[in-house]
A and B are shown apart, each in its own frame.
Chain A
Amino acid sequence: KAGVTQTPRYLIKTRGQQVTLSCSPISGHRSVSWYQQTPGQGLQFLFEYFSETQRNKGNFPGRFSGRQFSNSRSEMNVSTLELGDSALYLCASSLGDRDHYEQFFGPGTRLTVL
């Protein structure tokens, strides 16, 4: 069974631009979560989508948004990029039910904002 895939693996953008990251979950997984990882703040939860609906949301500004498609693939968008948005963005998928919340992580997208 293929693992979680994220594209692209690396991105360089400039301040003010916007960016879209993509995540394909493990087949059969309906939940996709996004995380931001930085040296200063560690791993922080952005949001979770389950069956095309945002089910949980972390404490990030509205510039960070996401969506999930009917095939469970998910995209994350960051608008008006700031230098502080430079980070490794991780996607994780799971079955998403109450008894099986084990998450499987992708390799991440490294975003650099100049």
Chain B
Amino acid sequence: AQSVTQLDSHVSVSEGTPVLLRCNYSSSYSPSLFWYVQHPNKGLQLLLKYTSAATLVKGINGFEAEFKKSETSFHLTKPSAHMSDAAEYFCVVSEGGGSYIPTFGRGTSLIVHP
């Protein structure tokens, strides 16, 4: 069985400071992991994905995430927050093994202060 836990429901940062959104996962197989962003009243947009290639994954808009198997983590980071980064972020695990039903975390709301 697979599961995903986003450790913070809200993260507040100042513009120009680093962003860290934490995600832990559980999977019986070698998982694929994703981060999606959802701006208000919009659908979800893929930021980046890990599919067993490089453990450090670079995504769009300056975001990146590192897959750490020993820690079962896939934290999302960005060196410098921008006001436009304010949104809801979802960590997603899909473990394969014949079933590709993805499991979404509960989401982390990123608040960016000027």
Contacts and interface: CB of A to CB of B under 8 A. Distances in A.
Interface of A: 4, 35, 42-45, 48, 55-56, 58, 90, 92, 98-99, 101-108
Contact of B101 (A43, A45, A102, A108): A45
Contacts of A43: 90, 104, 107
Interface majority SS on B: helix, strand, loop or mixed?
strand
Dominant secondary structure of chain A at its interface with chain B: strand
B56 interface: no
B102 A107 contact: no
Size category of the B interface is: 20 to 34
Contacts of A107: 41-43
B100 A101 contact: yes
Contacts, number: 47
A33 to B, nearest CB: 8
A90 B43 contact: yes
A99 B30 CA distance: 13
Nearest to B101: A56
A4 B96 contact: no
B51 interface: yes
Nearest to B34: A102
A42 B106 contact: yes
B43 A102 contact: no
B87 to A, nearest CB: 13
Nearest to B42: A107
